[in-house]
Amino acid sequence: MKIYLDMCCLQRSFDTKTQLRIVVEAEAITGIITLCESGQIDLVASDALAFETERNSHPVRKRYALEVLAKATQFVQTDRRVEERARTFRDVGIKALDALHLASAVEAQADYFCTCDDRLLRRARTAETLQTKVVSPLELIAEITA
């Protein structure tokens, strides 16, 4: 099983835990990363994730993201096909960088694209993502542990 975690997922554990949702999502993502470390799940990384990580000015958050991305078993480079697919996602209202993340997941034939971003989640579910299912961290943990 292949999973693509977008940057908001990778950074969820650093969010202020004043809402139960944030606490539970952070735990779910930690569990998913543990499954990746044990080889039960394949993590997909991409140029888009690397780009977003390099732009992070917070050293602890950046180091953590780099450590997680190093666990990836597949890396998707942004090429013409990814860019074209990202354009179709932008046509349904997905922001450019989010569209590149989703296009990278689809190009990798990931089983799941996971995001904590409610707006992206809603819009990505209206897009044609082929075999890649768009889910929240809680939906993902429910599916992979069922």
Q: What is the per-residue pLDDT for 145? A: 83
Report in angstroms the alpha-carbon separations of 28 from 53, 61, 108, 123, 145: 21, 18, 23, 22, 11
- What's the rounded mean pLDDT across residues 52-57? 96
Q: Is the pLDDT of residue 118 over 80?
A: yes
Could you please state the CATH topology (level 3) that the domain comprising 2-144 is classified under.
Rossmann fold (3.40.50)
Give 62-71 pLDDT, tens digit per residue.
999 999 999 9
* Domains of the chain, residue spans: 2-144
CB atoms within 10 A of CB 22: 15
C-beta neighbour count of 131 within 10 angstroms: 10
pLDDT value of residue 79: 97
146 vs 141: CA distance, rounded Å: 8
Average pLDDT for residues 111-130, to the nearest whole number?
96
pLDDT number for residue 17: 86
Element (H, E) at 90: helix 80-90
pLDDT of residue 146: 73
